[in-house]
Amino acid sequence: MSILVTGAAGFIGFSLCNKLLEEEDDIYGIDNLNSYYDVKLKEARVSKLREKAKLYNKKFIFIKIDIENKKEIEKLFDEYEFKYVVHLAAQAGVRYSLINPHAYIQSNIVGFLNILEGCRKVKVKNLIFASSSSVYGGNLNMPFKESNGVDHPISLYAATKKSNEIMAHSYSSLYDIPSIGLRFFTVYGPWGRPDMALFLFTNSIIEKKPIKLFNNGKMIRDFTYIADIVESIYLLIKKPPKKDISFDKSNPDPSKSWAPFKVFNIGNSNPIHLMDYVSALENALDIKALIENMPMQPGDVEATYADTSKLERYIGFKPKTNINFGIKKFVEWYKDFYEIL
């Protein structure tokens, strides 16, 4: 299996490559190593992958490329005829989209188009790409189901992720490219992103600084452990979608298509109150947090909750890692990586 993973130096991309190196032989990773967050962490991930490839005697090729660069992406797909593509590179973060919206259009729209064109050229057997639970926007009908409408995004980040789903569907329909969009729900775990809550909270608690709880802590999230995300993606790689000949165009279901295209929620299906999340972190660190309550931020939603029954039926796997276990594993990694006694 010749597999391209974009965003290979990112949190999910790195974690997926780490898994693939245990199972597959021909892994290619690309990333632009931008400075959205600590480049040293991204470089450490790539070094870890190279070490593992050597240990397992596997082929892992990492190339520094920006997906926005049309010519470089064309050259990449000309040189390597990938059979499978997992597209995880993107400009992430809801709040940052309020500060630098153009970065989201360039990376998430222009960059994704370049990847789609590459997939069309080499006729990939399966394209898996990252969407987000944020596409559900202002929807209050929980748990979120793939059959729900996603026409009311409340951040530009969410709008670009919905756009990715629409773009991929059009390519699936036009060029018969099997495509799967994954709506991730608050991913956390070892090697996580420094801009996300668990990382920020851990750093502040250790340094005895207040942690900021938006909406006065009255938030609910379907926190999903990274190993569950990776296992889901791995199983999906080997199960490309087929055309649904029973699709009713006169009564279209948003969760289905006549094209070889699917979207799946990947969440823990067990929403957790933010204060319970903080308590689990306090227990893992054995330090009491200082709390600074903050108002709701633009683009945020109060609650997320994934219905993953569609995913479970398709691959026979259900994300279910307990939050206490997941946070404990993150804290162990954090202390080891940053050499905290």
pLDDT for position 341 = 76
Give the angle subtended at the CA of 273 by the CAs of 37 and 153, to the nearest 5°. Answer: 60
d(CA 106, CA 97): 12
- Closest residue by Cα to residue 130 from 100, 163, 105, 97: 163
Q: Which fold has domain 2-187+223-269+306-320?
A: Rossmann fold (3.40.50)
Say which residue the tokens 């050229």 belong to.
121
* 216-256 pLDDT, tens digit each: 889 999 999 999 999 999 999 999 999 999 999 888 888 89
pLDDT for position 170 = 98
pLDDT for position 94 = 82
pLDDT for position 301 = 86
pLDDT for position 297 = 85
Stretches in the chain below the pLDDT threshold 70: none
Instruction: Please measure the distance between the N-terminal and C-terminal CA atoms of the chain and give it in whole angstroms.
Output: 42
175 assigned to active site: no
- Which residue among the candidates 96, 136, 157, 188 is catalytic per the annotation? 157
Does the model's pTM come out above 0.75? yes
pLDDT for position 65 = 96
Please state, as a whole number, how many other Cβ atoms lie within 10 Å of the Cβ of residue 332.
12
